[in-house]
Structure 1
Amino acid sequence: MLHICICDDEKVQRNNLKVIISTQLELKGIDFHIMECEDGESLIESLNKNKNCFDIIFLDIEMNGINGIETAKQIRDINDIAVIIFVTGFADYVFNGYEVRALNYVLKPYKEEKILDILSQALKQIDSIQNKFLMIQLNRNIYRIYFHDIIYFISDKRKLIVVTDENTYEFYGKLDDIEKEVPSFFIRIHQRYLVNLNFVSCVEDNELEIKGQKLPISRSKYQDLMIAFAKTMLR
């Protein structure tokens, strides 16, 4: 099921957007649920209970309480992959979307054609994320780990260690082989480390910070890393 949140402090605006989205998803035969929030605080509260509760978030920028930009920053602290689409009456706010990797924006008053186009983009982005995963076998158990959940890989002799927020998995393999399989948001920073750029918060001369941990950067990898990291800031 597709989970969508519409966060706007104006009930009429929420309803108008909901009608357009619901009609299109019904026509596509997509099973969905839409939750409405009237402020950023209630949206963040839902995410704190379940960080993956929303796939797509339509987020108004001018709201009572914390505004949409600040709400989006808090969303990214909790969930790094939910698709954020800003809703605003002022095009000047749009540039703030780069910092939180918003997919696009919708200007008020709504134009149905624009909403449907952006919704289509969002669905494609979700499909590209959800269909990518790593299958590993540990003893008699087989695990499917989505790439977007993997923080980094470590090579330890003949073993590979996969680090996620919730678990760590060890299996036999080569980092060179894994590097060929992973999506483009992964980058090799060291002979032993392959990291998910979406979790990197800071890059320094010889190390980076990823989810509160420091990992070393090889001198030969530094320039490629900086270019790739800069690109993630512009998405």
Structure 2
Amino acid sequence: MPHIATRQRISAFLLAAGALLGVSLVAGGYWTLWQTRGQASMSDLPPALITFPERRPLAEFALIDDAKGVFDLKSLDSHWSFLFFGFMYCPDICPTTLYDMSQVKREIIAAGVGAEALQFVFISVDPARDKALQLQRYVQYFDPEFVSATGSMGQLTNLTRQLGAPFRVEPATAENVYEVTHSSAIYLVDPSGQYAGIISPPLVPNNIATAFSQLYGDTAARQLAQRN
């Protein structure tokens, strides 16, 4: 079961005034953390990527992407999709995970997987505060190709339940002031829309890239064998 990360309260005016600055500081500091973490003994780390013996097809779902278009099951076609659920007001786990995802992407491409085969998606579970244009600017700070999406609570729950990605929006204590809890894992969906695996913290980009590259190669080899 993925870890559940509880977020501290943060008011709307703090986001408007300091979100990008905060992300910059976190990203800069996190680079040092990532380097230090990479020196840890491999035996101390859990598997970088847990894959399922049998992949599970996802049922239809519909969200709204950062261009105000539909993000649905068809949006996952022809890509290996890395899905992460969070929210823009998140002060720690979300920006650091998005930074990690940008490093994972870089490492996977360096290993020889084409960028066109990959899709990294940040899905906000806080639709009341996170709007499409804001989400687009937020995720593209980490990588210009990152995609974002959100939807109604019902639409979000339809997808998160399929993936086993819990989240909860707590009652507000003041206008636009409330806590959100959500999974800190990354969920991997294959190019045919099947739930293929899960990546849980701690996130070590090089290890994740190595594990994914092996999965990518094994899948390609199996598909080739089936065609022959």
* Superposition TM-score, scaled by structure 1 size: 0.29
* Superposition TM-score, scaled by structure 2 size: 0.30
Which structure is higher in strand share? Answer: 1
